[in-house]
C-alpha cells in the first residue's frame, strides 16, 4: 500500500526515580501505616502492609529506574502522588505540552513541516480530559491544518494509532499523519501498592507516517502491513471514569487506579503475543529468523525473553530485541516506540523488523516494517 514510517520522536522527562528511592519511600509509608493501625493489625482485622525491595523489582521486571513528569509529591509519604497544579483553560495542558515535545522531534526526523501534515492522532492510555481533544490542542499549537482526534487503547494505543494512520494514508484520505503518545501515567500509579508501585514511568513518543510518494528522508521504513487483536480481560484494569461522580464511591479509591493480576497477565499474554506475531509474519512468508529487529512492548523483561524464545526457539540477544525497561520502566503504549526510536539507525536497506505491543484490554498490535 506504500505507506511509510518516516520519523520518530522521543521526549524523556527530566526527573528520575530509582528503585531504591521508590522502595525507601514506600517502606517508610508502610511502616507509618502499620504503626498507625497497630491495634487492628494485632486484632487480626487488618493486614499489615508488606515491605518492597529493590532486588525483587529488578529481578521480577528488569526495571531499574523510571522517569516522572513531576517528581514532587510522589515519594512524600504524606501524599504518595505527584503534585501537578491545575492549569487555566487558556494555558497549554500538561499532556499537550509533552505531546508537542515528541511531535516536534518526529517531524524534524521525518523532514516535515506543519504544512505537510494532514491529521494528528493523540493515542495513549489516558487523556487528561474528555474534550476538547488533546490532539486538536496540539494541532493548533503546531499550526497544522486538517483534523485531529484522541483515542485510547491502553498498552496498544501507539500501535493502534499507527494502524489508523496507515489506513488513512492507504485509502488516500491523508498524505501524512502525526501519531503522538503522551504517556503521562504517574497520576494513575498507586505508589502505596507494593505489587505495582514500581511498574510505570512517564514519557512521550511520536511517529510520522506518510505516503511513499512524499518521503524525503533516507532513514524511513516501508510498512508492509498492520495487524490487531483484542480479547476482553479484567486482569489489567482502572475504573477511573466520568461516571464515578454519580456512583457515590471514592473517586480516588484503589480500584480507580491501575491494578492487575500480574501473574495471570504474564501467563495469558505471552502465548497470545507470540502467536499473533507468528501469524502476522506468515502473511508475508517471513520466518522469525529473517527478522533483524524486534521492537517489543516493554512491560516486563521476562515477558520479552519468553516471547522471543517462543518465536525463535532460542534466546534473542540484546541487539535483536532491545530492552529499554531498565531505564524507562513500563511506559504504557510507548515502550515499543521508545525501543524503535533508540535502536533502528544501524539497520540496512531491506532489513525487516517488527513493532509489537501487548497488554491491557487485552490488546495486541503489530506492524511489519522494512528499511527502505
124 in catalytic set: no
Question: Do 340 and 8 form a contact (C-beta atoms < 8 A)?
Answer: yes
Question: Do 304 and 326 form a contact (C-beta atoms < 8 A)?
Answer: no
Q: How far is the CB of 255 from ligand CO8 (least distance, A)?
A: 13
Residue number, 33 or 147, with CB nearest to ligand CO8: 33
Q: How far is the CB of 112 from ligand CO8 (least distance, A)?
A: 29
Residue number, 204 or 303, with CB nearest to ligand CO8: 303
Question: Do 205 and 341 form a contact (C-beta atoms < 8 A)?
Answer: yes
Residue number, 6 or 330, with CB nearest to ligand CO8: 330
Q: How far is the CB of 65 from ligand CO8 (least distance, A)?
A: 15
Annotated catalytic residue: which of 155, 270, 308, 356? 155
Contacts of 105 by beta carbon, 8 Å cutoff, 6+ apart: 8, 9, 10, 11, 206
Q: How far is the CB of 352 from ligand CO8 (least distance, A)?
A: 25
Which of 150, 207, 189 minimizes the C-alpha distance to 332? 189
Residue number, 229 or 330, with CB nearest to ligand CO8: 330
- In sign, the C-alpha dihedral spanning 230, 235, 238, 244 is positive
Residue number, 167 or 327, with CB nearest to ligand CO8: 327
Closest residue to ligand CO8: CB criterion: 262
Binding footprint of ligand CO8 on the chain (CB under 6 A): 52-53, 56-57, 60-61, 125, 154-155, 185, 188-189, 194-195, 198, 200, 236, 258, 260, 262-263, 265-266, 299-300, 303, 330, 332, 359-360
Q: Could you please report the per-residue DSSP string of 53-81?
A: -HHHHHHHH---EEEES--TTTT-TTT-S
d(CA 115, CA 82): 37
d(CA 228, CA 160): 7
Q: How far is the CB of 145 from ligand CO8 (least distance, A)?
A: 32
- Residues identified as active-site: 155
Amino acid at each position: 500500500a506504500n505507506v511509510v514510517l518516516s520519523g520518530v520522536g522521543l521526549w524523556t522527562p527530566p526527573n528520575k526515580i530509582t528503585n531504591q528511592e521508590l522502595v525507601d519511600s514506600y517502606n517508610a509509608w508502610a511502616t507509618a501505616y502499620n504503626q498507625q493501625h497497630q491495634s487492628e493489625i494485632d486484632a487480626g482485622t487488618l493486614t499489615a502492609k508488606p515491605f518492597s525491595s529493590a532486588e525483587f523489582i529488578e529481578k521480577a521486571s528488569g526495571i531499574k529506574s523510571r522517569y516522572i513528569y513531576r517528581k514532587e509529591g510522589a515519594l512524600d509519604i504524606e501524599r504518595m502522588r505527584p503534585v501537578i497544579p491545575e492549569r487555566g483553560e487558556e494555558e497549554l495542558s500538561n499532556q499537550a505540552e509533552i505531546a508537542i515535545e515528541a511531535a516536534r522531534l518526529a517531524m524534524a526526523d521525518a523532514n516535515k513541516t506543519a504544512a505537510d501534515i494532514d491529521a494528528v492522532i493523540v493515542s495513549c492510555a489516558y487523556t487528561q480530559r474528555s474534550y476538547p481533544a488533546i490532539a486538536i490542542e496540539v494541532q493548533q499549537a503546531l499550526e497544522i491544518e486538517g483534523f485531529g482526534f484522541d483515542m485510547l487503547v491502553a498498552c496498544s494505543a501507539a500501535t493502534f494509532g499507527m494502524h489508523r494512520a496507515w489506513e488513512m494514508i492507504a485509502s488516500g484520505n491523508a498524505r501524512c499523519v502525526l501519531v503522538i503518545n503522551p504517556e503521562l501515567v504517574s497520576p494513575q500509579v498507586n505508589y502505596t501498592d507494593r505489587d505495582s508501585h514500581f511498574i510505570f514511568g512517564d514519557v512521550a513518543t511520536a511517529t510520522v507516517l506518510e505516503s511513499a510518494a512524499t518521503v524525503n528522508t533516507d532513514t524511513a521504513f516501508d510498512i508492509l502491513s498492520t495487524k490487531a487483536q483484542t480479547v476482553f480481560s479484567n486482569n489489567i484494569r482502572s475504573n477511573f471514569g466520568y461516571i464515578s461522580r454519580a456512583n457515590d464511591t471514592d473517586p480516588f479509591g484503589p480500584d480507580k487506579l491501575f491494578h492487575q493480576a500480574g501473574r495471570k497477565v504474564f501467563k495469558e499474554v505471552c502465548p497470545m503475543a507470540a502467536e499473533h506475531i507468528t501469524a502476522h509474519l506468515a502473511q508475508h512468508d517471513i520466518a522469525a529468523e529473517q527478522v533483524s529487529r524486534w521492537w517489543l512492548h516493554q512491560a516486563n523483561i521476562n515477558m520479552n525473553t519468553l516471547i522471543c524464545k517462543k518465536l525463535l526457539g532460542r534466546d534473542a540477544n540484546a541487539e535483536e530485541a532491545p530492552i529499554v525497561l531498565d531505564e524507562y520502566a513500563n511506559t504504557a503504549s510507548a515502550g515499543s516506540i521508545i525501543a524503535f526510536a533508540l535502536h533502528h539507525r544501524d539497520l540496512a536497506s531491506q532489513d525487516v523488523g517488527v513493532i509489537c505491543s501487548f497488554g491491557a484490554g487485552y490488546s495486541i498490535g503489530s506492524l511489519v516494517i522494512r528499511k527502505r
